[in-house]
């Protein structure tokens, strides 16, 4: 999910991406290549290429703060922020190459180190980031809690379930199955875990395999959470060399007993976000993992 794209409106007063890049980096722009409605590749006069993204102020602020917070851990590669304001975010362009097993193993170890760098609480926003943030086009509230099961239910599962029911994408009868999972979360959550520093939107599209053999992450919805949520997101939409990533992760930071049986519980959040954003097809997947959790 594109963590900076927000629906509707103009946030930049008419300024274009090249002008924004020049202003925020202090460099002259020598070329522009539109990638999407809100994303432009810009070449600077020093030969660097940057990605320039336009978005709603809270989304820009959240993503910039998230990238900086993840980078501050010094654990996994993060696309560096070169400038940001209310409407624009400028990051380095990552030159991509083919995924490799060696890079996957390094990524697994680096992701374990990122998570271990911690967060002040479950739901903690990155320093300087807003409480009312985004994951893709969907609002995401970063409210703090010391209790992961209750926090996950109240701030990551139920808000999107309610929106899906209100939109008619999930029926009230179907919603009761997800609600039952939330009621049972204290028993389904596994051993207690300290708050981890999460990327928060760790699907394959946000994992860039660099031409230099290093993995770099983009587009976070960063917050303090349960480390298994990032791992479940990697599995949800596929990731090259995933088992190598997970084996290296577990070697560096063993997961709690029964972790593989909890993958669906952690996938409920992104599946319900996708249900809200993209419709009924994802509702079926969310209900399937809820039923699996209840029958386990």
Q: For residues 61 and 58, give the distance between their C-alpha atoms in angstroms, rounded to a whole number.
A: 5
What are φ and ψ of residue 145, in 5° steps? -160, 155
Tell me if residue 201 is catalytic.
Answer: yes
- Catalytic entry in 2, 137, 201, 219: 201
H or E element in which residue 49 lies: strand 49-54
Alpha carbons within 13 angstroms on the beta-carbon side of residue 137 total 10
Sign of CA dihedral 133, 134, 139, 142: negative
What is the 8-class DSSP label of residue 187? H
Alpha carbons within 13 angstroms on the beta-carbon side of residue 114 total 34
Q: For residues 125 and 161, give the distance between their C-alpha atoms in angstroms, rounded to a whole number.
A: 22
SS3 216: strand
Active site residues: 201
């Amino acid at each position: 999910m594109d963590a900076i794209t927000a629906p509707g409106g103009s946030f930049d007063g008419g300024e274009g991406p090249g002008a924004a890049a020049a202003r925020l980096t202090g460099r002259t722009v020598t070329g522009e290549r539109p990638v999407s409605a809100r994303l432009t590749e810009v070449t600077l006069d020093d030969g660097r290429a940057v990605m320039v993204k336009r978005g709603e102020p809270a989304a820009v602020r959240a993503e910039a703060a998230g990238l900086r917070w993840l980078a501050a851990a010094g654990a996994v590669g993060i696309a560096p922020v070169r400038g940001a304001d209310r409407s624009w975010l400028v990051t380095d362009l990552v030159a991509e190459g083919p995924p490799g097993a060696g890079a996957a193993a390094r990524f697994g170890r680096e992701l374990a180190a990122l998570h271990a760098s911690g967060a002040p609480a479950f739901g903690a926003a990155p320093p300087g980031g807003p409480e009312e943030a985004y994951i893709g086009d969907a609002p995401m509230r970063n409210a703090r809690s010391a209790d992961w099961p209750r926090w996950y239910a109240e701030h990551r599962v139920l808000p999107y379930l309610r929106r899906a029911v209100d939109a008619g994408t999930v029926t009230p009868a179907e919603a009761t199955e997800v609600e039952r999972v939330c009621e049972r979360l204290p028993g389904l959550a596994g051993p207690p875990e300290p708050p981890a520093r999460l990327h928060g939107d760790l699907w394959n599209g946000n994992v860039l395999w660099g031409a230099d053999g290093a993995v770099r992450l983009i587009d976070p919805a960063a917050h303090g959470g349960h480390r298994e949520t990032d791992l479940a997101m990697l599995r949800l939409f596929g990731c090259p060399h995933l088992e190598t990533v997970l084996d290296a992760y577990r070697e560096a930071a063993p997961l709690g007993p029964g972790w593989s049986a909890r993958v669906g519980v952690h996938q409920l959040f992104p599946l319900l976000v996708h249900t809200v954003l993209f419709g009924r097809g994802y509702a079926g997947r969310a209900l399937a993992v809820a039923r699996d959790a209840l029958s386990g």
